[in-house]
Structure 1
Amino acid sequence: MALSSIEKKDRLDWLEHVVRTAGAIVLSHYAKKTQVEWKTDTEPVTEADRASNTFLVEKISHAFPAEGILAEESFSDLTCLKNERVWMIDPIDGTKEFIHRNGEFSIMVGLVEKGAPVLGIVYQPAEEKMYKGAKGVESIIDWQDEVIPLKVSENTKINEFNLVVSRSHLEPVMEKIRSNLGIARWRQHGSVGLKSGLIARSIYDLYFHTSGQSKLWDTCAPQALLESAGGVMTDLYGQPLNYRGKSVRNRNGILASNGCRHAEIAGIISETLLGAKKV
């Protein structure tokens, strides 16, 4: 049986306290020298990632023992995706930003129910920004002792969109896409969750990520948050992200927007990517 609105709200409130505590753990490492290891040539990991991961997995598995957990630093296989409900955990989204000490990293926890993200939290501990969202239930940012409702912009003119892109994962084709969309205003920012939060706050209108290297834990909480604020997140071709597939990777990238002209933007991106492959 699907979670009711009341159950989603209760879970969000419970999760907020858990994630804030994970944030304190991360900040305790942020205040001292960081030793960096590399999982791959492009994926760093720190003791802060592992400590946050361990804490979150322990808390969630104890509270919801019958539900699956897919966590970045303890991922082993995809068996858990068969569960009706699966928690997806990114203990630090933006590890490179954590290492560079620019504050643009977040802790992200989302819940997938029957293959779709239904609630999510994105927390930026360096600035104590708490984003919470569940479509039809709640969509807020709690920051500086003020709780503010989230709602995406109503901007419909693509060439007037404000674009936010990755700080650490820029690819040459992204500039071609921006040019083909006719967008002049753009900036870089760390963390998928924080970029989605900026769209949910109407500060930006569009984000796309052309690499096929992002994972399900990178998009679950941000998607739930963005959809709660009226936005849309799909792959680059406008197709739903697959949370019950045979891979943890979002192989066709990420496209997040205020929902206005989303399909048209996906079409332009698709044509641009096709043209880039022919060159």
Structure 2
Amino acid sequence: MSEASEEREIEIVLAIAREAEALVRAIYDTPFEVEMKGPNDPVTRADREANTLICARLAERFPDDAVLAEESFPEDEAEVMALARRERVFFVDPVDGTREFADHNPEFAVMIGLAVRGRATLGVVIEPVTGVAVCGRIGAQTVAFREDSKGVRTPIRVTDERDPAAATMMVSRSHRPRLIEPLTDRLRITRVVPCGSVGVKVGRVSTGAADLYVHGGRGVKLWDVCAPEAILVAAGGRFSDLDGRRIDYAAGDLALKNGLVATNGALHGHVIDALREIRAELPPSQR
């Protein structure tokens, strides 16, 4: 794809996400019901309506590409596998952080990511309450920028912090893994910031507001990480599983079974090495 085509593509995806953002914010500002899809898995009409809107717009603008979205992915595993193995796949999380949305905590986001041949390539993450979007595209000309609610754009870049003891670490507000406390102890990290939404937390690393984020659990899906990964890498950071391996979006398994590590890049080796040592000391059931 040419540089001009890449530029148009990110503008199209951002416009789609902005349309969904307006819908989500309108529902957020009115009374709404919260349902449960499963244990600790809330859903609202904002999730469903934004999901429908985004998928329809992507189908209109990118008819040859596959879409895997949180509220409408196929139940048949073979169909999921076939879609995931397409050359270009959009991963959609219409409301990342539904728990925060339901609690009227502003730490939630609309997210659209694109994987090309199994690698995260483009991402848009918008926080509807503030109207702030972070966007990234990896390609002929890699770009990463922040756009405020008035459309003003500024480039974003990760920090160059190399000392773990001086780093700021983002952690889940509601699902803090067992690995976090031993990791902060081993790396002597003292600044730990709880936050909702994977996209928001990785966005803080991408914009230089924090230096790393680690999630050790299995509750994360590909639509939670595709957009954030593309933005972080475009901004100069690194993204992997707990063993330092890149995420394969074409594998066909929607769930990440080995957690995630998102850093400014300079700290990535420190984090992976510390996690390897910590996990070696734990029984298999706790790794």
TM range (shorter): over 0.9
1:103 is the counterpart of 2:99:
no
Judge conservation of contact 1:208–1:254 (CA < 8 Å) in 2.
Answer: yes
In structure 2, how many angstroms separate the alpha carbons of the residues matched to 1:195 and 1:12? 21
2:24 alignment partner AA: V
In structure 2, how many angstroms separate the alpha carbons of the residues matched to 1:268 and 1:225? 25
Q: Give 2:276's aligned residue.
A: 270
**Aligned alpha-carbon RMSD (Å):** 1.4
Counting matched residue pairs gives: 277
**How far off is 1:169 after superposition?**
1.2
Which residue of 158, 175, 183 corresponds with 2:164? 158
How do 1:211-250 residues align onto structure 2 when only pairs under 5 Å count?
211-250=217-256
2:275 alignment partner AA: I
SS at match of 1:172: coil
Q: Give 1:35's aligned residue.
A: 33
Q: Give 1:57's aligned residue.
A: 55
Measured against aligned partners, the alpha-carbon deviations of 1:222-247 in whole angstroms (never above 9, x if no partner) come to 00000110001100111111211131
1:210 is the counterpart of 2:213:
no
**How far off is 1:270 after superposition?**
2.1
Structure 2 segments unaligned to the other structure (5+ residues)? 75-79
In structure 1, how many angstroms separate the alpha carbons of the residues matched to 2:63 and 2:196? 33
In structure 2, how many angstroms separate the alpha carbons of the residues matched to 1:141 and 1:125? 14
**How far off is 1:116 after superposition?**
0.5
Judge conservation of contact 1:104–1:191 (CA < 8 Å) in 2.
Answer: yes
1:142 is the counterpart of 2:142:
no
**How far off is 1:57 after superposition?**
0.2
1:243 alignment partner AA: Y
Measured against aligned partners, the alpha-carbon deviations of 1:177-200 in whole angstroms (never above 9, x if no partner) come to 211121011110111111111111
Judge conservation of contact 1:5–1:137 (CA < 8 Å) in 2.
Answer: no
In structure 1, how many angstroms separate the alpha carbons of the residues matched to 2:121 and 2:177? 31
**Percent identity for Structure 1 against Structure 2:** 33
Measured at CA, do residues 168 and 4 of structure 1 come closer, stay the same or move farther in structure 2, by a change above 3 Å? farther
**How far off is 1:213 after superposition?**
1.7
In structure 1, how many angstroms separate the alpha carbons of the residues matched to 2:180 and 2:251? 26
In structure 2, how many angstroms separate the alpha carbons of the residues matched to 1:27 and 1:229? 27
Measured against aligned partners, the alpha-carbon deviations of 1:44-69 in whole angstroms (never above 9, x if no partner) come to 11111000000000000111111100
**How far off is 1:22 after superposition?**
0.3
Stretch of structure 1 that moved more, 175-184 or 83-92: 175-184
Which residue of 116, 127, 131 corresponds with 2:119? 116
**How far off is 1:144 after superposition?**
4.9
In structure 2, how many angstroms separate the alpha carbons of the residues matched to 1:162 and 1:95? 25
In structure 1, how many angstroms separate the alpha carbons of the residues matched to 2:81 and 2:96? 20
In structure 1, how many angstroms separate the alpha carbons of the residues matched to 2:71 and 2:223? 11
Which residue of 9, 12, 18 corresponds with 1:11? 9
**How far off is 1:149 after superposition?**
0.8
Structure 1 segments unaligned to the other structure (5+ residues)? none
